[in-house]
Amino acid sequence: MEKRVTFDGKALPYLLLAPQLLVTIIFFYWPAVQAVWQSFLIQDAFGLSTEFVWFENYQTLFSRPEYFRSLVTTLIFSSVVAFLSLSLSLLLAVQADKQIKFASGYKTLLIWPYAVAPAIAGVLWLFMFQPSLGLVSQSIRALGFDWNPLLNGDHAMALVVMAATWKQISYNFLFFLAGLQSIPKSVIEASAIDGASPMRRFWTITFPLLSPTTFYLLVVNIVYVFFDTFGIIDATTGGGPSKATETLVYKVFHDGRLGGDLGGSAAQSVILMVMVIGLTAIQFRFVEKKVQY
Amino acid sequence: MNNVQLRKVGKVYAGGFEAVRQISIDIPDGAFCVLVGPSGCGKSTLLRMVAGLETITSGEVAIGDKVVNALDPSERDIAMVFQNYALYPHMSVYDNMAYGLRNRGTPKPEIETRVQEAARILEIGHLLDRKPRALSGGQRQRVAMGRAIVRKPRVFLFDEPLSNLDAKLRIQMRVEIKKLQRALGITSIYVTHDQLEAMTLADMLVVMNKGKVEQMGPPLALYEKPQTTFVAGFIGAPPMNLVEVPAGGMAGLTLAHPPQVGRFILGIRPEHFQLSSEDAGPSALVVELTLTAVEAVGSETFLYGAIGGAGREIIVRVPGKADIAIGTKLRAVADAHDLHFFHAETGDRLPD
Ligand SMILES: Nc1ncnc2c1ncn2[C@@H]1O[C@H](COP(=O)(O)OP(=O)(O)OP(=O)(O)O)[C@@H](O)[C@H]1O
Ligand SMILES: [Mg+2]
């Protein structure tokens, strides 16, 4: 006989959910609603009066080339980071999976970056790559390469890409390792008997079987790059030089907080929000249908 | 010639555990060799060493007189059927079977004919477009077999391929595997811990225990002349009765010609007993029993009785149904050629 615990009344479940609901409403839904509302308003320069303007903020936004430049920057940034962090962590996970003996120590080392706050990660990388004093910069200089992320936009981009990738590898690694370990050993052995070289085995068996994990991580990584890299960018380059590393999320902060254009900034947030909702929807649909074998 | 030779093969795992000790087996071309033994006795380890999935610590494995110790699994020209089938979950049945051929660069039209041929033999032609997850256990088993036979390997290796099937399907597949192996004439090594499967499939039966070979030979030879008490107890169901008889004999048990060794172990199979009455003539073995339990399965009945009323319990098989009350005193007799004698300490068969 299964014993069931039952509660009288309908209030208790809601009461138990209340703290979580409250947090979600106060920190997620309320700001979201506020952002949508604000994106329809224009404030005068002194913040004394506001005017309801419907979609004017959005129109202004889309008429500005900087916004598209920022969009392109974000797309480049996110695809490079997603590609690099996914492929590097997959490579590391495959190595760890082979050498499960050393894996625990190796895993711990790889998980550390994940525990580092983004801004601190940014500062760390900034120090290492600081043009005149940074350890890494000095070595790069020694090789005869003129490294200067403070002036050169591409270098700055490379720097934030490295910092963001480094930070994301841990998370991806854990998922990939779990994914690899869930592939039955006998399937791999069967393919070895079937005459597949290790390389071919990876591409025809392991990689396809990891596809649900890879797809999940791809979406998570893109969302991460879109939003969570704010701290890294702010601490490392501040969006510069000359906006070379100004991603959409950084621009929201820059325009709203520093530029005082609250309406425009809110409109940008709303667009970002729509993007994330879209990505998440795609993820749910695909993870449930397509990518499964 | 695709004979398989194991020469003093040993396996010590990384932790220092010796899973296989000095095993030598000579499997002739086309023979069906079955490795049987209790869980953990090293059957899979031995099979995987033949496959090349496990390194060989000592000794040699030769396929067709060529030592293959250093060869990769793919270079040994073997095919293996795994217990969990190990089908490629993301590939269709067709691709599962074609995979090994594609890896070896077989031309497309030939792949097509070979896969269709295998599918026809195994009656899975209508499943070729399905993914493994859309198959029943029995169908997956057939696909795993198909994947092994399309390649026309020199040796088939099976690691408990039927243990995930229900009892009825297991018997059906057992018959089919045997037929298929006969038809193809491919040397096979088959691992199981089901002694009935082992008896029915094997041309050559190898009983293993604790990493060593206890006895090998044709299945009926092992049934008729087990060399150790382990083999005696392992082959046959229900197992052979093994009774330790002390030097002075045992109350309720009379042997016409006991071996002249003092203490020994007497072995007698349940099916070799007959029930008899007081006034019947003398027998090589007479056991007085008190019935303690009855197991009727329809075609036969197993009677459990305590020797001399309180001694060791043994099993007696009688054909058909038997209507006997618990507590009844019985007299079971057996012929001299059905008696087995083993050394009391070592468990080895005593010379006849
Ligand atoms: N990778 C390994 N490392 C250490 N010991 C192992 C390893 N694989 C197997 N063993 C040990 O070797 C022994 C034999 O294992 P094996 O898998 O060959 O048994 P088996 O006869 O196939 O048993 P079963 O019928 O349960 O499959 C076992 O005691 C097992 O614990
Ligand atoms: Mg096994």
Confidence check: pLDDT of A126 > 60: yes
CB-based burial label for A28 (10 Å; 0-12, 13-18, 19+): exposed
Whether the CB of B44 sits within 6 Å of ligand 1: yes
Cis (ω within 30 of 0) for the bond into A241? yes
What is the CATH code for A49-290?
A: 1.10.3720.10
Chain B closest-CA separation from residue A267 CA (Å): 44
DSSP A226: I
pLDDT level of residue A46 (50, 70, 90 thresholds): low
Of the listed ranges A59-63, A82-86, A157-161, B255-259, the one predicted with least confidence = A59-63
Q: What is the pLDDT of residue A54?
A: 76
Q: What is the pLDDT of residue A258?
A: 67
How many angstroms separate the alpha carbon of residue B214 from the centre of ligand 2?
Answer: 17
Q: What is the pLDDT of residue A260?
A: 65
**Residue A204: alpha-carbon gap to chain centroid:** 28
The closest residue, in CA terms, to atom 24 on ligand 1 is B39
Length of chain A: 293
Whether the CB of B43 sits within 6 Å of ligand 1: yes
The closest residue, in CA terms, to atom 31 on ligand 1 is B40
Predicted TM-score (pTM) of this structure: 0.80
Q: What is the pLDDT of residue A288?
A: 64
**Ligand 1: which of B11, B43, B194 to mutate, judged by most atoms within 8 Å of the beta carbon?**
B43
Confidence check: pLDDT of A41 > 80: no
The per-residue pLDDT of chain B, averaged, comes to 91
The per-residue pLDDT of chain A, averaged, comes to 78
Contact between A196 and B99 using a beta-carbon 8 Å cutoff:
yes
Of the listed ranges A129-143, B268-282, B331-345, the one predicted with least confidence = A129-143
Which residues lie across from B254 on neighbouring strands? B286
**Which residue, among B158, B12, B63, B30, has the nearest Cα to A190 in the 3D structure?**
B158
The closest residue, in CA terms, to atom 1 on ligand 1 is B13
Q: What is the pLDDT of residues B131-173, one digit of tens each?
A: 999 999 889 999 999 999 998 899 999 999 998 888 888 898 8
Which has more confidence, A234 or B78?
B78
- Phi and psi at B120, nearest 5°, equal -65, -50
Read off the tokens for B304.
């459990």
Contact between B53 and A192 using a beta-carbon 8 Å cutoff:
yes
Kindly give the residue spans of alpha helices, DSSP state H, lying in chain A.
11-24, 30-38, 56-63, 65-98, 103-115, 118-129, 135-142, 153-181, 185-193, 198-201, 207-223, 230-236, 248-253, 262-288
Sign of CA dihedral B73, B78, B79, B81: negative
pLDDT level of residue A49 (50, 70, 90 thresholds): low
What average pLDDT score do residues A135-151 get?
73
**Which residue, among A65, A66, A60, A63, has the nearest Cα to A246 in the 3D structure?**
A66
Of the listed ranges A198-212, A275-289, B67-81, the one predicted with least confidence = A275-289
Kindly give the residue spans of alpha helices, DSSP state H, lying in B202-336.
219-224, 229-234
Q: What is the pLDDT of residue A92?
A: 87
Annotated domain spans of chain A = 49-290
What average pLDDT score do residues B37-53 get?
93
Of the listed ranges A61-65, A127-131, B58-62, the one predicted with least confidence = A127-131
Q: What is the pLDDT of residue A255?
A: 73
Q: What is the pLDDT of residues A237-267, one digit of tens each?
A: 766 776 777 777 777 777 766 666 777 777 7
What average pLDDT score do residues B49-63 get?
93
Q: What is the pLDDT of residue A45?
A: 59
Q: What is the pLDDT of residue A215?
A: 86
Q: Does B126 touch chain A (CB under 8 A)?
A: no
Of the listed ranges A43-52, A64-73, B12-21, the one predicted with least confidence = A43-52
Which has more confidence, B23 or A262?
B23
Q: What is the pLDDT of residue B290?
A: 92
Which has more confidence, B130 or B282?
B130
What average pLDDT score do residues B318-324 get?
88
Q: What is the pLDDT of residue B342?
A: 95
Non-local CB neighbours of B137 within 8 Å, separated by 6+ positions = B164, B165, B166, B169
Q: What is the pLDDT of residues A86-119, one digit of tens each?
A: 999 999 888 887 776 555 666 666 666 666 666 7
Confidence check: pLDDT of B103 > 80: yes
DSSP A103-115: HHHHHHHHHHHHH
* Strand-strand pairing, B300-307 and B313-319: antiparallel
Contact between A195 and B90 using a beta-carbon 8 Å cutoff:
no
Q: What is the pLDDT of residue A14?
A: 82
Q: What is the pLDDT of residue A48?
A: 65
Confidence check: pLDDT of A27 > 60: yes
Please check whether residue A165 is in contact with residue A234, taking contact to mean a CB–CB distance below 8 angstroms. Answer: no
Confidence check: pLDDT of A1 > 60: no
